[in-house]
Amino acid sequence: MGKEKVVSGNTIPLNGRPVTRALASALRASSKLITSSEVAATTQINQGRVLRSKSKRTALDENKANALKKRAVLKDITNVSCENSYRSCFNAAKIQVENIKQIKKGKASSSKVASASTTSEVTDAKVEVLSNSVGVSLSGCTSTSLGTDEASYSSIEKRSSTLPPRPLGRSTYTVGKSFIGGSSTVASIPKLVDIDSDDKDPLLCTLYAPEIYYNLRVAELKRRPFPDFMKRTQRDVTQTMRGILVDWLVEVSEEYTLVPDTLYLTIYLIDWYLHGNYMERQRLQLLGITCMLIASKYEEILAPRIEEFCFITDNTYTRDQVLEMESQVLKHSSFQIYAPTSKTFLRRFLRAAQASYVNPSREMELLANYLTELTLIDYQFLKFLPSVIAASAVFLAKWTMNQSSHPWNPTLEHYTTYKASDLKASAHALQDLQHNTKGCPLNSIRMKYRQEKFKCVAVFTSPKLPDMLFCEN
């Protein structure tokens, strides 16, 4: 028999093989072998550390809990620039509650609400209080760089634009009664199709859709660029240059396969920045790609990189220039990026238009999208609200596809809150754009919708809109 290999009692075998004293001392010197005594000592030290760390963590948790109890609500996390807005919103809500209490008690006071002596006056006062509170809450931290021009424009808007009527929709609660789930007040109206009756698809948000779109209709009255900002603010940039930029951005959005909402939001950000800041024509394209970058970050799942936008301009602008312009656009917008566009309302209005069809018309839907997108190039359409443009596109698309029946019906009138007479000016202007009566050479959108995937709707023409279509019934 060979020699037996003795293993020290205070060593641990390495890889299943016994370790000699010489190898053990060598490994111990290089810290690759841990003896049993060392393990015991290390374990004892670690246990002491754990106990100390637990006691420290308990003390820290108690300190954090006490700190959270002492913190004032929203005071420490509210943006400094939004402090005045937050106070105004809080005060408006407070005033609204006090006014409603005064209405219920019927006490006479100096306020408008309490001075109402008849039922109609009380109702008007309630609507006025609600309108004021909604206006304050939606304005938020708006840009103040425009000074007196902003104030004058707001006064004009108050005279020309009124809040849309609140939709009847699908009510969830009734005042003074128990919960009613999914009840519809629309279904009781004759000749009216309830487009929110399909509550099986949760993505449609049918229970909240009427209130959502009402709030969007209120929001579109805020933060609108001047319809004549080219005369007010710009001296170097013209309407034609803006049209060329938008036409090129349509091609860029097609190149990167961006969603339509990105394109609409890009144009809005461009107009919103131009109406409050002087821009040189050499930097107009820089503004265009920067606004598309911001819109892509907001709308896209995977936004194009800055280098791609620089590349598509033939590296005319650097990465640092784009980042600097991005900072300027965001500061001017007070970091409020989103605003309802005509594409936002078009989805809702098309759903109302398709409600009377047995089979949804794909051509009519694509034609309405084509007509709405055409308005992005034309600077003159800034004078129309986005919801008016969307409603006019549906009106003209239905008239283009079928002249045998009236393009407007009670369902569309209810969900758009517009009568046919309200769309006369915008529908005629949109038809001129469809026929290209001004001979505009910019044809990116027309070429886009001549493709087979868009059913070639760009080649469709519509007969002249008779005045009888806009007569009151």
pLDDT digits (tens, 9 = 90+) for 44-70: 555 555 455 445 445 445 554 444 333
In the structure encoding, which two tokens stand for residue 6, read together? 């003795």
Element (H, E) at 183: strand 183-184
Q: What are the C-alpha distances in Å from 106 to residues 97, 129, 454?
A: 14, 16, 60
Give pLDDT, residue 165: 72
For residues 214-222, give the mean pLDDT: 91
For residues 91-114, give the mean pLDDT: 46
- Say if residues 464 and 435 touch (Cβ distance below 8 Å): no
- Say if residues 371 and 397 touch (Cβ distance below 8 Å): yes
Q: Which position has the token pair 């078009």? A: 346
- Please give the Cα distance from 405 to 386 (Å, whole number): 26
For residues 294-306, give the mean pLDDT: 95
Of the given ranges (115-129, 179-193, 278-292), which has the lowest mean pLDDT?
A: 115-129
- Say if residues 406 and 469 touch (Cβ distance below 8 Å): yes
Beta carbons within 8 Å of 71's beta carbon, 6+ residues apart: none
Residue predicted with more confidence, 465 or 188: 465
Give pLDDT, residue 203: 79
Half-sphere exposure of 2 (CA within 13 A, CB side): 2
For residues 201-205, give the mean pLDDT: 80
Residue predicted with more confidence, 5 or 456: 456
Angle at 262 between CA 261 and CA 267, to 5 degrees: 100
Band (pLDDT 50/70/90 cuts) for residue 325 is: very high
- Residue type present at position 368: A
In the structure encoding, which two tokens stand for residue 45, read together? 């030290």
In the structure encoding, which two tokens stand for residue 461, read together? 């023409």
Of the given ranges (120-134, 324-338, 354-368, 447-461), which has the lowest mean pLDDT?
A: 120-134
- Say if residues 270 and 291 touch (Cβ distance below 8 Å): yes
Q: What are the C-alpha distances in Å from 94 to residues 129, 136, 150, 351, 412?
A: 11, 12, 27, 38, 37
**104's torsion region: left (phi>0), alpha (psi -120 to 50) or beta?**
alpha
- Please give the Cα distance from 46 to 44 (Å, whole number): 5
In the structure encoding, which two tokens stand for residue 388, read together? 């008016």
- Say if residues 186 and 169 touch (Cβ distance below 8 Å): yes
The whole model's pTM is what?
Answer: 0.65
Band (pLDDT 50/70/90 cuts) for residue 457 is: very high
In this model, does residue 80 exceed pLDDT 60? Answer: no
Half-sphere exposure of 140 (CA within 13 A, CB side): 15
Beta carbons within 8 Å of 313's beta carbon, 6+ residues apart: 285, 286, 289
For residues 94-101, give the mean pLDDT: 48
Of the given ranges (120-129, 215-224, 420-429, 452-461), which has the lowest mean pLDDT?
A: 120-129
Give pLDDT, residue 161: 54
pLDDT digits (tens, 9 = 90+) for 8-23: 444 445 444 555 666 6
Give pLDDT, residue 28: 62
Beta-strand pair 170-171/183-184: antiparallel
Average pLDDT, the chain: 74
Highest mean pLDDT among 11-15, 33-37, 231-235, 349-353: 349-353
Residue predicted with more confidence, 14 or 284: 284
**205's torsion region: left (phi>0), alpha (psi -120 to 50) or beta?**
left
Q: What are the C-alpha distances in Å from 337 to residues 3, 146, 266, 270?
A: 83, 18, 10, 11
Q: How many CB atoms lie within 10 A of CB 306?
A: 19
Highest mean pLDDT among 15-29, 148-162, 196-210: 196-210
- Say if residues 231 and 221 touch (Cβ distance below 8 Å): no
Return the percentage of the chain with pLDDT > 70, whole number: 60
Give pLDDT, residue 368: 97
- Please give the Cα distance from 451 to 455 (Å, whole number): 7
Band (pLDDT 50/70/90 cuts) for residue 471 is: confident
Q: What are the C-alpha distances in Å from 299 to residues 119, 250, 304, 336, 338?
A: 46, 16, 11, 14, 10
For residues 420-440, give the mean pLDDT: 94
- Please give the Cα distance from 208 to 196 (Å, whole number): 9
- Say if residues 43 and 54 touch (Cβ distance below 8 Å): no
Give pLDDT, residue 43: 54
- Say if residues 355 and 413 touch (Cβ distance below 8 Å): no
In this model, does residue 40 exceed pLDDT 70? Answer: no
Residue predicted with more confidence, 450 or 72: 450
**DSSP codes, 78-96:** S-GGGHHHHHHHHHHHHHH
Residue predicted with more confidence, 384 or 80: 384
Return the percentage of the chain with pLDDT > 90, whole number: 50
Residue predicted with more confidence, 320 or 105: 320
- Please give the Cα distance from 204 to 194 (Å, whole number): 13
Give pLDDT, residue 136: 32
Residue predicted with more confidence, 424 or 82: 424
pLDDT digits (tens, 9 = 90+) for 394-404: 999 999 999 99
Residue predicted with more confidence, 22 or 373: 373
